[in-house]
Structure 1
Amino acid sequence: MRMTWADFWALIATLDGAATQASCERLAKELSRRPVPEIIGFAERHAEALYRLDQEKFGTLPVVDLTARYGSPFPQSSDVFLYTRCAVVAAGQAVWESVSFDIDRFSPYTASECDGEWFLYVPDTAYELATGEDWDRSTRYCFESYSNRDGWPHLRGLRPKWLTGIS
């Protein structure tokens, strides 16, 4: 069974716009009641949605509510950038689509209270609930920060060691 984008966004809507622990656990339970191929399909859409946001124009934005020494902007780490992208996807289809056209719509999700880390684990949790087994997930798209070569054109020849082997 294939997970369509419409099905994916309908499931995301159950988060009510935020990737809280409770909302992500609720989504994982809902997803776990579906056939395993749908859980895998959700994981593919999940990874692709995060991958599409993996772009320099978003990753180089500072964290909005933090400043570094002497008041300079505080940069996003690779983990913060990943969790920020999770928060954007969890906010829903309209937000996810709008940030591509208006970078200012992405900025608020860099705030420390917008941590979307719980969303990252939804597919794995759903799989484990459905099968009783750990999942060594592999998806077509890598959701890790800086893996989208098209989104980070100046990094194409400068791939970090931890990305070696990721295409």
Structure 2
Amino acid sequence: MTDFWKVIGSSPMRDASEIESALEEISRKLSAMTPTVLTRFVELLRESLYRIDRRNLAEVPVVLAPGLKLPQTSDHFLYARCACILAGEEAYNDVLSSGVGFDRFVAPFAQEAEGLLYLASEQYERKTGSKMNVESDFSIESMSNVQGWAD
């Protein structure tokens, strides 16, 4: 089994070009994987997204300009979590343990990290000719149930 975080690597996440480069590198690594390993990668991605699905992170505002802040939408929050994962294991664990630093993943350019959601399934479809079907406790659809939101 390929280590999830070795596939992800790390990116400074300073602009959209760094996100694009990170996604290209991950896609290259995924292209060498078997359909079974690609499915496991998606399961681990979903679990990682779920683990940082927290109210305090969802409430970090999007800053469009000095003095102009907007709340995140559910899609924006999902893509911000993808950006956090693209930043690498250390950045992810820092956010997971303290919530500190998540604001940089809410930046509008970080929305390009959405592509992470589709890389493994695209490679799977290329290899098998069929769509990936992942049975998981951590589905994308259930991610609007942010941990701790009922508090």
Which category describes the TM-score, using the shorter chain as reference length?
0.7 to 0.9
Correspondence for 1:146 among 144, 147, 150: 144
Sequence identity of aligned pairs in percent?
30
CA contact (8 A) 1:43 1:123 kept: yes
Structure 1: how far apart are the matches of 2:52 and 2:124? 24
Look up the equivalent residue of 2:85 and give its one-letter code: V
Q: List 4+ stretches of structure 1 deviating above 3 A.
A: 15-19
Cα shift readout 1:14-42 (whole Å, capped 9, x = no counterpart): x6355734432432232132121111110
Structure 2, unpaired ranges of 5+: none
Distance 1:16 1:111, change over 3 A: closer
Look up the equivalent residue of 1:132 and give its one-letter code: G
* Aligned residues: CA RMSD: 2.3
Cα shift readout 1:38-71 (whole Å, capped 9, x = no counterpart): 111101100000011111010011013357xxx5
* Paired position in structure 2 for 1:94: 90
Distance 1:31 1:49, change over 3 A: same
CA contact (8 A) 2:11 2:19 kept: no
Distance 1:82 1:26, change over 3 A: same
Distance 1:33 1:72, change over 3 A: closer
TM-score (norm 1): 0.75
TM-score (norm 2): 0.82
Give the number of aligned pairs.
145
Larger Rg: 1
Shift in Å, 1:114: 1.5
Matched, 1:110 2:110: no
